[in-house]
Amino acid sequence: MKQQLINIWSIVDPFYLKCTRLQCLEQIIGKYNIFRIRLTRYKGHEVVLSDGTIITKNDLLVKIHLHNVRVLKEMDSMDGKLKILFLYKAAYYSMPALALYVLQHEQKDHIKGIIGITMIEKGYDRLGFESFLFSSSMYTWFKRISLYPIHLLANSKSSSKRNKTPVPRYLFMSKDALCKKYGSLQKNIA
């Protein structure tokens, strides 16, 4: 059943991509990458990052999405701990291309950082992200419901029955933190 759902998702995914205006970073950079991106204006409450960057309403950010159907296919035959390691490494090796994209973007002087939304509970801090809960409980429930199918497909039956559904949260990284941490790794993607 899980495999059939992933196959259906693969068929629907190109339409989703067009509707969300996301671009595959892999197609822009030309190397393996699990991120899809687009510019966005932040609509949440003010956030102060650890490096002092203040993100306020209408700031320009690069929104990142995992290419979920691809990641699920690549993780299909792995067990729980290998899935976590694979996802961490795939994200880590995708970050330099994200830094390159930001540094080369025509609006680089206006981009404040990157933003994502996740239900993943561990590992994002090692990548350099900071997490913040949503200020709206309605938005939290909306995101919990919309991300729940991905959560179910990514986890084994036993682990998803045993664990409570994680709380979705924002992930932020300032442009300066991104470029400082991953800018020097850009030669690996060239």
Q: Which two tokens stand for residue 141?
A: 């429930």
Query: 16-53: per-residue pLDDT in tens?
Result: 778 788 999 998 888 889 999 999 999 999 999 999 99
Put residue 52 in one of left, alpha, beta given phi > 0 → left and psi -120 to 50 → alpha: left
Which band of pLDDT confidence, cut at 50, 70 and 90, is reported for residue 71?
confident
**Separation between Cα atoms, residue 21 and residue 39, nearest integer Å:** 9
Averaged pLDDT, 158-173: 71
- In the predicted structure, residue 109 carries a pLDDT above the cut 90: yes
- Rounded to whole angstroms, the Cα distance separating 170 from 153 reads 21
Higher-pLDDT residue of 162 and 144 is 144
Residue 53 · residue 113 · CB < 8 Å: yes
If you average pLDDT over every residue of the chain, what do you get? 84
Q: Which residues contact 118 (CB under 8 A, 6 or more apart)?
A: 124, 131, 168, 169, 171
> Is the pLDDT assigned to residue 117 strictly greater than 70?
yes
pLDDT-derived band at 79, boundaries 50, 70, 90: confident
pLDDT value of position 41: 97
- Mention every residue, 6+ apart, whose C-beta is less than 8 A from residue 147: 117, 119, 168
**161, pLDDT greater than 60:** no
Residue 153 has pLDDT above 70, yes or no: no
Query: What per-residue confidence (pLDDT) applies to 190?
Result: 46
pLDDT of residue 9: 66
Mean pLDDT is lowest, of 26-30, 92-96, 125-129, 145-149, for 145-149
Residue 149: band (very low, low, confident or very high) from pLDDT cuts 50, 70, 90: low
Q: Per-residue confidence at 62, pLDDT binned at 50, 70, 90?
A: very high
Q: What is the mean pLDDT of residues 67-86?
A: 81
> Could you tell me the residue ranges of all domains in the chain?
2-188
